Each structure stands twice: as structure tokens, then as C-alpha cells.
Structure 1
Amino acid sequence: MSFKNMREYLAWLYYQYLLITGIYVLEPWEKSIFNSIFFAAIAMVIYTSYVFVPIHVRLALEFFLGIFGGQTESTVALMN
């Protein structure tokens, strides 16, 4: 893909973003405030998912292994 095609594709994606969110009708300073808040919220969601989802998945696996008769790592370590 050439640089010109990539640039046109990114411009098209940005145009779609403007249309879907409806911010094409806002003034430039309103757009920047909206984009700042929107991308800050997206960044917080991604960070929170990165930090907390693995912990909750591990705890859920330990819970279900305990219910269905599996042994957790701490139990196996005590038996050795």
C-alpha cells in the first residue's frame, strides 16, 4: 500500500469518526475538548483492562477449579 493510499484511507477513517460521533458540526475548540475527553476515557478503559482483567480471570479460574474438584497451585505445592 502506497503512502498516498494510506493517507487517503486514514482521512476517510477520520471523516467516518466525525460523522458517527456527530462532532463535525462543532467548532474547532469544542472538537478538541470532546476528543481530549473521549481519548482520555478510552485510554483509562484500556489501562484498567490491562491491569485488572488478568487478575479477575485468574481468580475466576481458581474459583471454578475449586468447585469442580481441580487443585490450585497452592494445594499442589503443599503436597510436594
Structure 2
Amino acid sequence: MDFRRVKEYFSWLYYQYQIISCCAVLEPWERSMLNTILLTIFAMVVYTAYVFIPIHIRLAWEFFSKICGYHSTISN
């Protein structure tokens, strides 16, 4: 892949983001505040998913394995 095409693609994606989120009409300080808030929310969602989804999957596995009668030999 050509570096220039990748750069143009990311530029196009950023432009689409600006249009969809209406950042194109904001002042620079408003745009930076909005981007900071959105980035913070995205980081918190990713962190929460990383921490809690494996726990919920394990608990669901234990619950359904008890219902189905499957007894695991793995100890915690």
C-alpha cells in the first residue's frame, strides 16, 4: 500500500468525522474540548470492556455449566 493513499484515506476519515459530529462548524477550542471528551469516553468504554467482559463470560460459563451438568476440573 502506498503511504500517500493511506494518508489520504485517514484524511478522508477525519473529514467524515468532522462532518458527522459537526466539528467543522466549531471554533478550535470547542473542537478540542469535544475531541477530548469523546476520546475520554471511548477510552473508558474500552477499559471497562477489557476489565469486565472476561469476568462476565467466566461467570456465565460457570452458570451454564452447572445447569448443563458439566463439571470443570479447573480450579480458581
Q: Same fold (TM over 0.5)?
A: yes
Moved more, 63-72 or 52-61: 63-72
What does residue range 30-69 of structure 1 map to in structure 2 within 5 Å? Answer: 30-69=30-69
Amino acid in structure 2 at the alignment position of 1:13: L
The amino acid across from 1:4 in the alignment is R
* Structure 2 partner of 1:72: 72
State the Cα distance separating 1:20 from its structure 2 match. 1.1
* Deviation for aligned residue 1:3: 1.4
- Count of aligned pairs: 75
Which residue matches 1:23? 23
Q: Does the CA-based 8 Å contact 1:66-1:72 persist in structure 2?
A: no
What is the TM-score normalised by the length of structure 1?
Answer: 0.87
- Tell me the SS of whatever aligns to 1:71: coil
Once the 2 structures are TM-superposed, how far is the Cα of residue 6 of structure 1 from its aligned partner?
Answer: 1.1
Would you say the 8 A contact 1:18–1:24 is kept in 2?
yes
Inter-partner Cα distance in structure 2 for 1:14 and 1:2: 19
List, as ranges, runs of 4+ consecutive aligned residues in structure 1 with deviation greater than 6 Å. none
Based on CA coordinates, which of the two structures has the bigger radius of gyration?
1
